[in-house]
Amino acid sequence: MTEQAKENGPRFIEIDTHDSGQRIDNFLITRLKGMPKSRIYRLLRKGEVRVNKGRIKAHYRLRAGDRIRLPPMTLPARAREEESPEIQMMGRRLEECILYEDDELLAINKPSGMPVHGGSGLQGGVIEGLRQVRPEARFLELVHRLDKDTSGCLLIAKRKQALRELHRIFREDRVDKRYLALLNGVWRRPREMVDVSLRKFVLRGGERFVKVDREGKPSRTEFRTLERFTEATLVEARLLTGRTHQIRVHAAYLGHPILGDTRYGDEEANRRWRGKGLKRLFLHAWRLELPHPADGSRLRLEAPLDAELEYLLEALKKARS
């Protein structure tokens, strides 16, 4: 999702695949924290909120590419965000996580536990932190998303033209996206393509929950075994579609959920592995390969595992030998 605003002017939000499928009223309630629901519904009823220049009902479901126009309004949460020392510290931490940078884009190794943007009760995230420590930057926008608890490669566009081109590259499935995941139990197959449709539900608090459902969207993930341990299996997951929580739900569908997954995982297994030092979701976007938005040259980005995950893997290897 991209967002643009002029001081004292209207605000525009462009919807990406991550927010596609949500009702406009639920999206605005989540996005405009601190604004009374009654005012949000009044804005919708009076047509002050437009989608693709047209009036819409509160039950309208957003689609990727939709452009929302919000009328001029004061958002106190946004003002607080700009003065937040916590977001300033987040931004400084991110400056130490840079994997690659040029005039068109920036790639970071996003830490686990850090949201990509504010909303859903969160004051701020990656994009707000970077904007705060780079006040001179005229344009910084997320190209894609990672879940809050997932670490790894994340792209930020530094120019509007680069953002458009990168969105086109992602839409055309010209990005090779690979993740490392530690699955619960010993998975015996060397490789498997999971091809089952996923359906996204938005809970009352704005949280997303995804289920395998024939009525959902086509979703494909290729899993490849890298190493087997006594009670776990390290796999590489290659995303062939980009649905919300796709790898997590597909791993659970295989009967081997990702360790540390508190939403789709095995509660008892997670408790055992916390005792072994795993206190986060073991899912890491380790590699992105795609055409560069400026000249089409092949760009390959790799993000190392953080110390916690590396230490755990080393301990598992020693225990096995």
Q: Which of 221, 233, 227 is nearest to 183 (CA)?
A: 233
Amino acid code (one letter) for 63: R
Q: Which of 162, 143, 166, 165 is nearest to 285 (CA)?
A: 143
Residues 117-147 as b or e (16 or more Cβ within 10 Å = b): bbbeeebbbbbbbbbbbeeeeeebbbbbbbb
Distance CA 134, CA 114 (A): 18
| Three-class secondary structure of residue 127 per DSSP | helix
Is the Cβ–Cβ distance between 54 and 67 less than 8 Å?
no
Distance CA 267, CA 256 (A): 12
Q: How far is CA 307 from CA 2, 295, 312, 313, in A?
A: 32, 35, 9, 10
Distance CA 46, CA 97 (A): 45
Neighbours of 97 (CB within 10 A): 17
Told to judge if 19 belongs to the known catalytic residues of this protein, a careful annotator would answer no
Q: Which of 147, 149, 261, 266 is catalytic?
A: 147
Distance CA 57, CA 117 (A): 26
Residue 46's Cβ-count burial label (10 Å; 0-12, 13-18, 19+) is exposed
Can you point out the beta strands (E) in the chain? 2-5, 11-14, 50-51, 54-55, 67-70, 98-101, 105-110, 141-142, 151-157, 176-184, 191-195, 198-202, 208-212, 220-228, 232-239, 283-291, 298-302
Residues serving a catalytic function are 147
